Amino acid sequence: MPVISYREALNQAMREEMERDPDVFIMGEEVGHYNGAYKVTQGLLNHFSERRVIDAPIAEMGFAGIGVGAAMVGLRPIIEFMTFNFSLVAIDQIVNNAAKIFQMSGGQFNVPIVFRGPGGPAVQVGSQHSQSLESFYANVPGLKVVMPSTAYDAKGLLKTAIRDDNPVVFIEGETLYNSTWEVPTTEYLIPFGKADVKRVGQHVTLIAWSKMVWTCLDAAKELAKDGIEAEVVDVRSLRPLDHDTICSSVAKTGRCVIVEVGWPVAGYGAEVAYQVQRACLDQLDAPIERVTSDDVPMPYAKNLEDEVQPQIKDVIAAVKRALYLA
């Protein structure tokens, strides 16, 4: 299989879905003539014209609302936020309209819309551009929330999102766009609500999503040098969540470490921890460990930015606590 970047995989998914379905279109800041702030929409304007690749003004509430309206009348919008931090400007459209219209209309209106763009900390972009907002959106009934970690997952999940008849919040790892993975040339879809075991192990389960999956994989390599084999479970789909795969892994290993780049208070990892202890309490041989960013706005200085976010050493320390080695 060819090895392509996360960015290219997303581009392929949108291109293929736009060719398959003429009702799919893209709208957002700089998605057209600039080819996207992160070049994810590279070449799509030339291929599909301004009718289907629409450069929007700096007005997230406005163009998100246009997308919701378009979805209600049968189109399939892909709304790109230059960063998911900017989705906060449009949160009324996402939470109060997109997520609720199907129920409030008594099923008369589906809202097949994808809100996508980069999320999570990047590198020295300041506290207002470094937030992980998945727990905000995963809290809302009516939304589906997806966070792929690899190019393979990004393509398969985005194609699924575009075909879904419900609103999907699709958060891409801002530091993952250049990462590469094997991606088939044949069409494939990845269903929501299905986690993926990225590494098989027997001593401890590491649960993560988006860029923290890579941190866990690197930590697992280091742990293996000491004879500790960690299993890495990539959640991929936060809402709906795959309880079965997660709990099957924890039941096997008896120990669980949840790693997220978000904040600790009311973070999504707390929900995962609750689900694990509810289903696997009898199989747990140690308390569940959580590794999160520090409970502070992101600093700008690089050394402090690194200190705030979970690092390989933090995951290893949590694993050793779970194994009663520290």
User: Catalytic residues, which ones?
Assistant: 60, 129
The Cα–Cα gap between 69 and 74 comes to 9
The Cα–Cα gap between 167 and 235 comes to 19
Residues 6+ apart with CB under 8 A from 166: 102, 110, 111, 112, 142, 143, 144
Place of tokens 């291929």: 47
The Cα–Cα gap between 211 and 149 comes to 6
In sign, the C-alpha dihedral spanning 31, 36, 39, 43 is positive
The Cα–Cα gap between 319 and 230 comes to 9
Please say whether the beta carbons of 273 and 260 come within 8 A: no
Please say whether the beta carbons of 205 and 219 come within 8 A: no
**Two tokens, residue 171:** 């958060």
Phi–psi pair at 156, nearest 5 degrees? -65, -40
Task: Tell me whether strands 144-146 and 168-173 are parallel, antiparallel or unpaired.
Answer: parallel
CB neighbourhood size of 280 (10 A): 22
The Cα–Cα gap between 7 and 214 comes to 16
Q: Radius of gyration of the chain from Cα atoms?
A: 20
